[in-house]
Structure 1
Amino acid sequence: MDTITTKEFRAFPGVEDWRPRATGALAVFRTGSFATGAQLFGAIAELADAAGHHPDVDVRYATVRVRLVTHSAGGLTAKDAAMASRISEAARELDIPAETERMQELMLAISTPDPDTLLPFWKAVTGFDEVAEGTLLDADGRGPLIWFQPVDRPLRGKSHLDVNAPRDVIEQRLEAALAAGGMIADDSHAPKWWTLADADGHKVDLCPWRGPA
């Protein structure tokens, strides 16, 4: 099955609760209790078995986090969009709201002039799989991502955290971080990303989710 772009995914009806990106389409549902979360999981399991297409589901006390991706195609497909719509419909029937402001992924960015040399070491010590060129992820879909950032020369700080989330979430985090004593270390790439620093100079990149059109 052919993959689709994030823009094509968003064009499908009924996927407003979902945020697509390279590692799949994500949704978070605010269940409020473990029992309600179990109900939603049961509904998702029935839909997944009927379609022969199974998402990653993380059930917590008050939330259910779902990630859809077609592993055999190496990305998002129309099957993911169709399943996303059905899952959102099941959540509405159970009166469970989506909570898009809680979506995020952490990524450890390793800056290096030679990613091909470093990646095998990190793959070996973590046991992660290479899910895209220069990007490692736990085979079970748990984070953080490890991304090897190509640079022309070694940086003074060779690794830093990336916080990836929808743009509205990132903008809220940016405002909150500055109010909490952080500072903008580099905004030359904004609005693609902002580099912030704490009072001791430790850096974090705030990166809005984006993908191919």
Structure 2
Amino acid sequence: MTASVDERHWRVLLRTLRATFTSDSYLLLVEFAGAVTELAQELHHHPELHLRWGRVTVTTTSHDARGLTERDVELAERVSVIAEEMGLVPTAPRMSVQEVAIDALDIAAVWPFWAAVLGYDAHVEEADGELDVELVDPDGLGPAYWFQQMDAPRPQRNRIHLDVSVGHDEAEPRIAAALEAGGRLVSDAAAPAFWVLADPEGNEACVCTWQGRPTA
């Protein structure tokens, strides 16, 4: 699906297409955000826009499909044209999205606490007898939280870890940097979907990509 998007601009991250464009001109970035807004109205498909000094991030997904569709590809293609015409600089290889994963023996008992303390919205589904819960920031700024089913207590392992989703071409450099910084590889059995890493004290994090998964 993503073969036709400009790979200088876009990466698949956590069921989304994301691009970040930079400029020293804040006014130019505001103009770009306005042009993307007009495009979204035309296509009846509305991405998330995050504008701050020096950069604008555009994230698109199809919420009704809970993933990517041709609507996202079309929007991405046309956003790339706008960015090119305005001379904006892409930063695709450095992009990442973070999720916080919480291991739980009883997900149904645990997730309402975290939704309440964070003030997050909950997306709850059940498939094949398993509970799938994702907590998301209603403002779209903070990381998402999800819950991983445990089959037994693991007192010697951290129960909360970070999932860092990166572009498929950024995973190996990111892992290499983490190992160089003192980390270790715990498992690559699920690669390229994810690699499990740990810091020198055993706290774990996963570097994830869209590859090797049933859906993007």
The yes-or-no answer on 1:60 pairing with 2:34 is no
- Displacement of 1:72: 4.4
The yes-or-no answer on 1:184 pairing with 2:185 is yes
Superposed counterparts of 1:195-206, under 5 Å: 195-206=196-207
- Equivalent-residue separation in structure 1 for 2:14 and 2:177 (angstroms): 27
Unaligned runs of 5+ in 1: 1-7
The yes-or-no answer on 1:106 pairing with 2:98 is yes
Report the number of matched residues.
204
Amino acid of the structure 2 residue aligned with 1:102: R
Superposed counterparts of 1:57-206, under 5 Å: 57-131=49-123, 133-155=132-154, 156-206=157-207
- Equivalent-residue separation in structure 2 for 1:176 and 1:93 (angstroms): 35
Change (3 A) 1:51 1:189: closer
- Equivalent-residue separation in structure 2 for 1:199 and 1:80 (angstroms): 40
- Equivalent-residue separation in structure 2 for 1:77 and 1:208 (angstroms): 18
- Displacement of 1:15: 4.7
Counterpart secondary structure, 2:170: helix
Unaligned runs of 5+ in 2: 125-131
- Equivalent-residue separation in structure 2 for 1:14 and 1:187 (angstroms): 29
Counterpart secondary structure, 2:50: strand
After superposition, give the CA deviation of every residue in 1:77-106 in whole Å (9 maximum; x if it has no partner): 322221111111100111113221121111
Amino acid of the structure 2 residue aligned with 1:116: A
Amino acid of the structure 1 residue aligned with 2:150: V
Structure 1 stretches of 4+ with a deviation exceeding 6 A read none
- Equivalent-residue separation in structure 1 for 2:138 and 2:38 (angstroms): 24
Deviates more, 1:130-139 or 1:60-69: 130-139
Answer 1 or 2: which has greater strand percent.
Answer: 2
- Equivalent-residue separation in structure 1 for 2:166 and 2:177 (angstroms): 15
With the length of structure 2 as denominator, give the TM-score of the two structures: 0.83
Amino acid of the structure 2 residue aligned with 1:57: L
